[in-house]
Amino acid sequence: MSKVAHPLTGLISAPYTAFHADGSLNLAAIEKQAASFVANGIAGVFICGTTGEGVSMTVAERMQVAKHWQQVAAGTPLRIIVHAGHTALGDARALAAHAEKIGAGGVGCLAPFFFKPASAGDLALFCAEVASAAPALPFYYYQIPSMTGVSLPAADFLRAAAPLIPNLAGVKFTFENLMDFAECLRLDGGHYDIVFGRDEILVAGLSLGARGAIGSTYNFMAPIFQEIMAAFANGDLAKAQERQAAANAIIHIFARYGGLSAGKAIMRILGLDCGPTRLPLRTLGDVQQARLRAELEPAGFFDFCSRV
């Protein structure tokens, strides 16, 4: 079995979906987001996932966002991976088919999170239906138990899915089970592309063999994570660990304000306004945003934040 032809390597951002104040899509913001990613060496984007509030958007909205990202990214190094996960299989298939139609570089899908699969086999059957709607695209299972409540081992999923999904590329692995992550990397002689999804422990993922990482903090902290990747590649584990600790000090601060809401507030602070979060998430008010900024400054955030 040959390895995935075009694995996801380097830093891949999970971009925020920009909304106007009234909650409608702000597609015009995508051009500035894409330019920021290119300027900061980001290799691709995973759109309409958790950070992109995909499950809070309609299918039509998600298709609009995907199409606009694909158009904006044309002629840039950015590879567009479209998250098609949905609780309704028909909608997930429609999103996957649309991703292939617009020429995206891949499609991802999380586990259904209301009626949940009871086994890796059931999960594989669901994902096989989604993947078959975009047979020309690499398919990635999106493992994120903190949001779906589905903690079936990703390695078991890969074993069950292999005979069912011809375009199975790998896993977006957003979980702390590093034993499972390592097993996925080794499975079938390293055939699968296992992309690390926990920014806070990127060094651990790299030490086990990760070559690519998808994360939300790469929207505004790409430079320090690029330093981590470079230091590790150069064999300087001490520097990689030190930069990871510095990044985590920032993450500890904004996590207290609500990760996704705080992330959008940081984007406003940096001058790339992605608007409010959708209910039930609360958007940070001016007072909270000012407090957040006051905490970020002495922690050194503005010394290594992304260029936007």
The residues carrying an active-site annotation are: 142, 172
Q: Which of 217, 297, 308, 301 is nearest to 263 (CA)?
A: 217
> Looking at the DSSP assignment, which residues form a beta bridge with residue 10?
212
For 82, the token pair is: 């479209």
Q: Which H/E stretch holds residue 110?
A: strand 106-110
**CA–CA separation, 164 vs 88, rounded Å?**
20
Rounded CA Rg of the chain: 18
8 Å CB contact between 31 and 65: no
Instruction: Say which residues have a Cβ less than 8 Å from residue 190's Cβ, sequence separation at least 6.
Output: 3
- 174 to each of 32, 42, 198, how far by Cα in Å? 27, 19, 5
